[in-house]
Structure 1
Amino acid sequence: MFVLELTADLTGVTNLRPIDTLEDPYYYSFRVQCTSCREMHDKWVDFDRFTTTDLSKSRGEANFVYKCRNCTRESSATIKTAPKAYMAASPPTKQVIIEFECRGCEFTEFRVEGEWIADGLTESKFDSINLAEDWYDYDEKTSEEVCVKEVGWVIRRA
């Protein structure tokens, strides 16, 4: 089991999460490495938690199925939980966003793409948050600036 952890400095917002619904799925983007021969796949792989593919030599299915070009071993990954919201903390802390099970492969790097949403400390809602860079906005209800900055990602074995 692996987890994707987020660390971010949130000001004026909390409950930061990807937009990830059946109607509008979030595509998780990773670099993948075969655990058998240690070959790194040369491209980023993207998959969502709602789409599954059948495994070739099993009755099972997974969100991501990969056949290594070097050793031809089939590997897979399955997202185990819906994404969890990142809650504001001072100082910023690592928090698990998503859990996934990998068989025959490891994810070595995460690339954030897609839109995220957050709740203001009042009843304000913020959408179209791009975490690829620091994000700033203005909360009309509190008349203060809100932001998400110093975003960091870690993939670790759970």
Structure 2
Amino acid sequence: MTPQRVTLITLGVTDMDRSKAFYAALGWVPHASSQPSVTFYQMHGLVLGLFGLPDLAADQGRPGARLGTGAATLAQNFEDRAAVDAAWQAALDAGAEPLKAPEEVFWGGYSGYYADPDGHVWEVAHNPFWPLAEDGSLTLPEAP
């Protein structure tokens, strides 16, 4: 049995400098252990990595494989709608591709989507049913 957790998310990128510039424009700071071929960002309890696509394919044991972005969405939850709107605008200002502007959604929250320079999809959302801790971390509430 394996533990129910994720400790590292790695995004394959086509241009490391472009990707680093995008995340820097969002205010993200690379960790000191980053290297020219891989950039790490320390997050709440996990790490986000940027890894050049050819190097990532080789690391997976599939040198020369054509890697895509897959059907995954990364999400950031915020304390209110204004913070969602601010995060959305910051991403667009940094060069993100707008996919869906923040709006009220069927499940009772407020969310929007953008893609980073490599097409990785990010959701920015406010979920009134999932309160965030003071440090911004999320623990799902107990079921009623």
Interval of TM-score (by shorter of Structure 1 and Structure 2):
under 0.3
- Give me the TM-score of the superposition, normalised by structure 2: 0.23
The structure with the largest strand share of the pair is 1
Compute the TM-score of the two structures, normalised by the length of structure 1. Answer: 0.22
Q: Name the structure with the higher helix share.
A: 2
Q: Which has the higher contact order (CA 8 A, sep 6+)?
A: 1
